Amino acid sequence: MAQVVGDSIIKDMKALTYEGPYRVAVREKPPPRIEHPQDGIVRVTAAAICGSDLHLLHGLVPDTRVGFTFGHEFTGIIEELGPRARGVKKGDRVVLPFQIFCGGCYFCTRGLTSCCENTNPATDAGTGIYGYSHTMGGYDGGQAEYVRVPFIGVDAEKIPDDVEDLDALPVSDAFSTGYQAAEMCNLRGGETVLVLGCGPVGLFAMWSAWAMGAGRVIAVDHIDYRLEFARSWLGVETLHLKKLDLITTVKGMTEGRGADATVEAVGCEAAGSLMHRALGIYAKLEAGSPEAINLAIHATRKGGTVALVGAYGPPMNGVDIGTFMNKAQTMRTGQTSVKRYMRHLLEHVRAGRIRPQEVFTHRMPLEDAPRGYHTFAQKRDRCIKVALLPAPTLH
Ligand SMILES: NC(=O)c1ccc[n+]([C@@H]2O[C@H](COP(=O)([O-])OP(=O)(O)OC[C@H]3O[C@@H](n4cnc5c(N)ncnc54)[C@H](O)[C@@H]3O)[C@@H](O)[C@H]2O)c1
Ligand SMILES: [Zn+2]
Ligand SMILES: [Zn+2]
């Protein structure tokens, strides 16, 4: 099959697809088409694998269909535009927020683009997300050579000429999410911020907490190389989850009180409970474990804030809501409303304050994406984050 896109004739394209729990493959698929007047077609130049993709890989997200293309963090070049797409032009180099939003509804006009009413109206739980199952709208993702971008004129952010694709790529998700998490901590200066999870989201939350005036940043994980990366990249203190009692240790570091704010950047696959894992994968009763939420509640001081940005799906049992209530804490959470942070974060990159691409310990052709998934999922080879690079052209 062939299709005309711009001045080019494209045959089938390569895409990373779901093949069942723990299995992904690179398949030939028909290229996307303009389906709506405000759509665009983007030729992907780089796509990242996110911790959220692992929940898909592990079969934890309902209605993930075989053959579906993953990928919600990507940069690319605009190849084709629908007749009503405004504000962008063919040839623009862009980065896309991971969620799809209309720009005009009740929530979008209030900056809460992660809650857009129009791109996934079948559920109350969030907006459409690229490559994130039919639960999140069934939009094919960007771990492919081409992707359809709805509302492209509203959603796309142009990448400044002096910013490289791989520095812009994390702005689509991990960097914005870490930044939003730190913002949720409502820092005034000098606070102790605990960050659970030294994956990309946690790392960007640590950077952002420093940028917003934290006095002390303490990072937690159970993987040595990730703790080392956090220490050397960001100068944070680190605690190994399995080598000490976390709650007692954090209280000991904070005059017995706990952290002023804790960022939970782990999500439903927290190390902890095999029972919860089995309930998720086999019974689809519970997508994961509440381990990290409970650590956050217990390690945060009374009156403190928990910024919960790790991802959760269906209802979760065993959350220690009583302790949360009695400690008079605040919890802030949500999918990130990425668009409102993009320009600001790209300015930080331009100013040389951070080189986001340093998290891409692994860069590989799209064809090698299954290897990238398994390396990232199993935290092998000191992997922090994977960038997939489609071939420069198909023509
Ligand atoms: N809210 C949003 O909009 C949003 C956006 C992007 C990602 N996420 C979510 O953020 C989370 C992190 O994403 P990532 O890309 O950094 O993933 P990642 O898998 O690279 O990182 C998670 C880290 O948590 C560590 N960990 C596991 N159990 C832990 C525990 N009990 N305590 C402390 N650390 C523990 C893991 O070892 C790992 O290093 C995921 O749940 C992802 O779905 C949310
Ligand atoms: Zn993501
Ligand atoms: Zn909207």
Cβ atoms 127, 114 nearer than 8 A? yes
Q: Is the dihedral of CA 164, 167, 170, 171 positive or negative?
A: negative
- CA 151 to CA 154: how far, in whole Å? 6
Whether 395 is in a domain gets the answer no
C-alpha span between 221 and 239 (Å, rounded): 7
Asked if 262 and 154 sit in the same domain, the reply is no
Rg (CA), the chain: 20
List, for residues 308-318, the tens digit of each pLDDT value.
Answer: 999 987 777 78
Judge whether 201 and 309 are in contact, CB under 8 Å: yes
Give the span between the Cα atoms of 204 and 236, in whole angstroms: 12
How many CB atoms are closer than 10 A to CB 89?
Answer: 12
Atom of ligand 1 nearest to the CA of 291: 31
> Across-strand partners of 108?
none
Could you identify the residue written with the tokens 């891409």?
A: 360
CATH of the domain at 103: 3.90.180.10
Does residue 109 sit within a domain?
Answer: yes
Whether residue 301 sits in one domain with residue 212: yes
Domain boundary among 313, 333, 353: 333
List the helix and strand counts (H, then E) for the chain.
Answer: 12, 19
Residues with CB under 5 A from ligand 2 (ion): 50, 52, 173
Q: How many domains does the chain have?
A: 2
Tell me the sheet residues that pair with 244. Answer: none
- Reduced to 3 states, what is the DSSP secondary structure of residue 387? strand
| Dist CA 89 CA 46 (whole Å) | 19
Are 165 and 186 part of one and the same domain? no
Same domain (yes/no): 109, 246: no
Nearest atom (ligand 1) to Cα of 271: 28
Q: What is the pLDDT of residue 172?
A: 98
Say if CB 41 and CB 146 are below 8 A apart: yes
The token pair at 171 is 């702005």
Share in percent of the chain as helix, strand, coil (round to 5): 30, 25, 45
Closest by Cα among 93, 16, 85 to 50: 16
Q: Tokens 């065993």, residue?
A: 318
Q: Are residues 261 and 361 in the same domain?
A: no
Is 10 domain-assigned?
yes
Angle 184-187-193 from CA coordinates, rounded to 5°: 85
Same domain, 42 and 148: yes
Ligand 3 centroid – CA 89 distance (Å): 22
Query: Do 75 and 163 belong together in one domain?
Result: yes
In whole angstroms, give the CA distance from residue 264 to residue 197.
7
Residue 61 to residue 205: CA distance in whole angstroms? 25
- Ligand 1 mutation pick, 201, 293, 375, max ligand atoms within 8 A of CB: 201
So what's the pLDDT on residue 6? 58
d(CA 93, CA 161): 9
Which residues, including other chains, have CB under 8 Å from residue 278's CB and lie 6 or more apart? none
Residue 73 lies in a domain: yes
Token pair of 194 as six digits? 């605990």
291 & 262 share domain: yes
Residues 280 and 352 in one domain: no
Tell me the pTM.
0.94
- Distant-in-sequence contacts of 133-140, Cβ < 8 A, 24+ apart: 133/56, 133/61, 133/62, 133/63, 133/64, 133/65, 133/68, 134/63, 134/64, 134/65, 134/68, 135/61, 135/62, 135/63, 135/64, 135/313, 136/61, 137/100, 138/68, 139/100, 140/15, 140/32, 140/68, 140/69
CA distances from 142 to 108, 130, 232, 368 (A): 23, 7, 31, 15
Q: How many CB atoms lie within 10 A of CB 33?
A: 13
Residue finishing a domain among 333, 355, 374:
333
Ligand 3 centroid–CA 115 distance in Å is: 7
Q: Work out which ligand 1 atom sits closest to the CA atom of 181.
A: 1
Amino acid at 364: M
Look-up of token digits 């952010």 = 157
Please state the φ and ψ torsions of residue 192, each to the nearest 5 degrees: -95, 120
Half-sphere exposure of 113 (CA within 13 A, CB side): 23
- Mark whether 158 and 209 lie in a shared domain: no
205 found inside a domain: yes
Read off the CATH number of the domain in which 265 is found. 3.40.50.720
Q: For residues 118 and 127, what is the distance between their CA atoms, to the nearest angstrom?
A: 8
Cβ(254)–Cβ(301) under 8 Å?
Answer: yes
Are 38 and 134 part of one and the same domain?
A: yes
CB 110 within 8 A of CB 76: no
What pLDDT score was predicted for residue 394?
Answer: 43
Low-confidence ranges of the chain (pLDDT < 50): 1, 394-395
What pLDDT shows up at residue 1?
Answer: 44
Which residues form the domain of 228?
178-333
Please identify, among 333, 356, 380, the residue that sits at the C-terminal boundary of a domain: 333
Looking at the structure, tell me whether residues 31 and 145 fall in a common domain.
yes
Query: Would 152 be classed as within a structural domain?
Result: yes
Residue 394 lies in a domain: no
Residues with CB under 6 A from ligand 1: 50-52, 54-55, 173-174, 177, 196-202, 220-223, 226, 241, 265-267, 270-272, 291-292, 295, 309-311, 335-336
